């Protein structure tokens, strides 16, 4: 089985250079996902000199791990947003997301991007009473969203109630980002891969970004890294990092449903769609979310997806499996804009499961803000907004959870290496010589011992047995078995230790 997202099977074989020489630009964008590449496209269009620094490969972060669905609604029912805010806020969310979807459609047409884009209906339904569709329909009508009550037979699932939204869309997210990046890469907008930003130094009006081999000096910096890099207490304490999984499946009866399907079953949400490569259709199922670093058994989450698909379809075989991360904001809306008053750093985060559109919107909003152009939606998403009442419940819940993790891990001494062995292909946190170590034994018995303390804010990492990584339960940093950063806010990897096991 392929342990990479399905999109990689149909993507461009394209490489961008590594940054080796110092550079001076108007704006440096950190991260080349949908947010970073859209931001760069928009800034370049406004005549600014831009550099995009990507630690790995263009589009292969969360954008290339997503489901590739484009919807003007979000994961939260619109009536929940209305209850927290008001109808005007819902209208703005829907309208701004529509504008971003139009941008994607326009770009695809203008550049003739072949990324399997197609208009689709979106079907949301439940058998657990978790959504009030009557309320949802009323709000949809008031906000001008084209929708109707979902009729039996339209989706390959049994459900109580549901809604159909027309004029939504699907694409291959990785192909889209790669093509967009290719179209903007030149001497005024240079994109670099394998160029991780290790330090951000903001002393005067210039900001210096250090990679392993060079320094970029910029007037403005955009953190298009899904979650801001480094210590940003006001954001990291309001963002909940969640991990979810995807599987690709071949079906025995070759009947593959067309559409965007969001089913709520027994208080769990599953997203299902079809994607075809070279005439071969695959069913994709995404879900089984948990907080990063807090699953007892990550493999069980992938198994849960498989069981769900087997209960509803005739499965021939599972072809792909992968994981990806979401950051949920405390007040249901993403944070997009200047990091704080007077700062030359900008952030775009808290997209939850709606970031292909929100990331695109962020690119448009940030470019407007940086170039001093008014945008009717800037205020709504303003990163430095302060909404203690709107964020209070989730803020308290997320931070109690982080505090509980810290206390649990602080008082948990780790397994004693003398008492408990590590199986081949397994990782375990152990107490050795008074230090907490993240110990991994590979498939031929070679042991790697790293410090188990996350360099971001000092929490203890946990073993992820499905993706073979060390995941931090506090703010979502993840590290590979050699300790290198995979994703999350940490700049640096887990320290290598000299302790002998
Ligand atoms: C399983 C799953 C399914 C989803 N499905 C959908 C969907 O169908 N529709 C939807 O709208 N949303 C979906 N989402 C959410 C959406 O994918 C994300 O919100 C969105 O892709 C975020 O884009 P981004 O560009 O901000 O982040 P990313 O795509 O993660 O890009 C950030 C980039 O920054 C780079 N980076 C990080 N640190 C550094 C550093 N120090 N130096 C240099 N580069 C760095 C990373 O390598 C990465 O490439 C899904 C999410 C998941 C997990």
As a whole number of angstroms, the distance between CA 497 and CA 449 comes to 6
Mean pLDDT of 482-500: 88
Burial code (b: 16+ CB inside 10 Å, e: under 16) for 317-336 equals ebbbbbbbbbbbbbbbbbbb
195 pLDDT above the threshold of 90? yes
Helix axes 87-110, 173-184, angle to 10 degrees: 70
CB 115 within 8 A of CB 108: yes
Q: Is the pLDDT of residue 500 over 70?
A: no
Cβ burial, residue 194 (10 Å; 0-12/13-18/19+): middle
Portion of the chain with pLDDT greater than 70, in percent:
91
Please tell me the distance between residue 412's alpha carbon and the centre of ligand 1 in angstroms.
33
Q: How confident is the model at residue 419 (pLDDT cuts 50, 70, 90)?
A: very low
**N-term to C-term CA, the chain:** 33
Would you state the pLDDT for residue 401?
65
Q: Supply the pLDDT for residue 422.
A: 85
Q: How far apart are CA 305 and CA 285, in angstroms?
A: 7
DSSP sequence for 371-385:
HT---TTHHHHBTT-
Is pLDDT at 213 greater than 80 in this prediction? yes
In angstroms, the CA 67 to CA 344 distance is: 33
**287-325: pLDDT as tens digits:** 999 999 999 999 999 999 999 999 999 999 999 999 999
Tell me the CA–centroid distance for residue 226 and ligand 1, in Å. Answer: 6
**Residue 203 banded pLDDT, cuts 50, 70, 90:** confident
Give the pLDDT of residue 391: 66
Residue nearest (by alpha carbon) to ligand 1 atom 50: 66
Atom of ligand 1 nearest to the CA of 357: 11
Pocket test for ligand 1, best of 74, 356, 480 (most atoms within 8 A of CB): 356
Dist. CA 486 → ligand 1 center (Å): 12
Per-residue confidence (pLDDT) for residue 408, from 0 to 100: 55
Query: CB under 8 Å to 189, separation ≥6 — which residues?
Result: 40, 41, 43, 44, 49, 50, 51, 52
Q: pLDDT of 335-353, one tens digit each?
A: 999 999 989 999 999 999 9
Quick one: what percent of the chain has pLDDT higher than 90? 82
Residues 6+ apart with CB under 8 A from 289: 242, 243, 244, 269, 326
Mean pLDDT of the chain: 92
β-pair partners for 428: 439
* Measured distance CA(367)–CA(373) in Å, rounded: 8
Q: In the prediction, which pLDDT does 498 show? A: 66
* 61 Cα: distance to centroid of ligand 1 (angstroms): 5
Question: Mutate which of 29, 31, 96 to test ligand 1's pocket (most atoms within 8 Å of Cβ)?
Answer: 31
Element containing residue 317 per DSSP (H, E):
strand 315-329
Q: Tell me which residue has its CA closest to atom 2 in ligand 1.
A: 66
- pLDDT at residue 390, as a whole number: 66
Which residues line ligand 1 at a C-beta cut-off of 6 Å?
Answer: 30-36, 53-56, 61-63, 65-69, 196-197, 224-226, 229, 244, 246, 286, 324-326, 351, 353-357, 359
**Residue 446, pLDDT above cutoff 80:** yes
**97-136, pLDDT tens digit by residue?**
999 999 999 999 999 999 999 999 999 999 999 999 999 9
Task: Provide the pLDDT for residue 497.
Answer: 80
Mutate to test the pocket of ligand 1, among 225, 259, 326 (most ligand atoms within 8 A of CB): 225
CA of 314 to the centre of ligand 1 (A): 31
CA of 200 to the centre of ligand 1 (A): 21
For residue 64, the CA-to-ligand 1 centroid distance in Å is: 7
CB 341 within 8 A of CB 353: no
> Which residue has the least CA distance to atom 31 on ligand 1?
33
Q: Which residue CA neighbors atom 41 of ligand 1 most closely?
A: 197
Q: How far apart are CA 319 and CA 282, in angstroms?
A: 8
Distance 323 CA to ligand 1 centre (A): 12
Please state the atom number of ligand 1 nearest to the C-alpha of residue 31: 34
* pTM for this prediction: 0.94
> Which tens digit of pLDDT belongs to each residue from 235-277?
767 789 999 999 999 999 999 999 999 999 999 999 999 999 9
| Distance (Å) from CA 332 to ligand 1 centroid | 18
pLDDT of 397: 66
Gap from CA of 33 to ligand 1 centroid (Å): 6
């Amino acid at each position: 089985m392929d342990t990479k997202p399905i999109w990689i099977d149909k993507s461009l074989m394209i490489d961008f250079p590594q940054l080796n020489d110092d550079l001076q630009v108007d704006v440096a964008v950190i991260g080349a996902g949908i947010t970073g590449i859209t931001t760069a496209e928009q800034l370049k269009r406004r005549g600014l000199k831009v550099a995009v620094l990507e630690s790995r490969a263009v589009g292969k972060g969360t954008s290339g791990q997503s489901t590739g669905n484009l919807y003007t609604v979000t994961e939260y029912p619109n009536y929940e947003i209305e209850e927290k805010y008001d109808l005007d806020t819902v209208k703005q969310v829907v309208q701004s997301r529509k504008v971003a979807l139009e941008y994607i459609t326009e770009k695809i047409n203008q550049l003739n991007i072949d990324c399997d884009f197609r208009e689709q209906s979106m079907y949301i339904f439940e058998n657990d009473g978790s959504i009030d569709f009557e309320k949802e329909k009323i709000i949809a009508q008031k906000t001008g969203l084209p929708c109707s009550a979902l009729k039996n037979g339209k989706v390959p699932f049994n459900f109580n109630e549901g809604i159909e939204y027309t004029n939504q869309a699907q694409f291959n997210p990785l192909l889209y980002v790669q093509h967009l990046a290719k179209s903007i890469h030149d001497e005024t907008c240079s994109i670099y891969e394998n160029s991780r930003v290790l330090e951000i130094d903001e002393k005067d009006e210039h900001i210096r970004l250090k990679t392993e081999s060079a320094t970029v000096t910029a007037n403005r910096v955009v953190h298009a890294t899904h979650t801001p890099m480094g210590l940003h207490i006001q954001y990291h304490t309001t963002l909940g990092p969640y991990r979810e999984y995807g599987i690709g499946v071949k079906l025995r009866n070759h009947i593959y449903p067309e559409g965007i399907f969001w089913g709520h079953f027994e208080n769990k949400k599953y997203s299902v769609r079809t994607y075809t490569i070279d005439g071969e259709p695959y069913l994709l199922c995404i879900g089984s979310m948990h907080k990063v670093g807090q699953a007892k058994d990550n493999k069980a989450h992938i198994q849960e997806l498989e069981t769900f698909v087997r209960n509803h379809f005739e499965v021939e075989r599972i072809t792909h499996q992968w994981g990806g991360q979401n950051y949920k904001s405390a007040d249901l809306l993403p944070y997009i804009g200047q990091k704080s008053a007077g700062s030359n750093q900008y952030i775009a985060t808290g997209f939850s499961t709606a970031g292909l559109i929100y990331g695109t919107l962020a690119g448009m909003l940030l470019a407007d803000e940086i170039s001093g152009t008014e945008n009717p939606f800037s205020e709504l998403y303003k990163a430095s907004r302060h909404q203690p009442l709107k964020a209070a419940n989730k803020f308290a819940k997320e931070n109690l959870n982080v505090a509980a993790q810290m206390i649990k891990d602080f008082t948990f001494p780790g397994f004693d290496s003398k008492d408990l062995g590590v199986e081949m292909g397994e990782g375990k946190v152990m107490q050795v010589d008074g230090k907490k170590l993240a110990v991994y034994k590979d498939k031929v018995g070679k042991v790697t011992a790293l410090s188990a303390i996350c360099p971001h804010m000092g929490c203890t990492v946990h073993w992820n047995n499905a993706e073979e990584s060390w995941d931090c339960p506090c703010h979502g940093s993840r590290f590979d078995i050699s300790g290198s950063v995979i994703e999350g806010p940490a700049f640096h990897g887990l320290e290598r230790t000299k302790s002998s096991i």
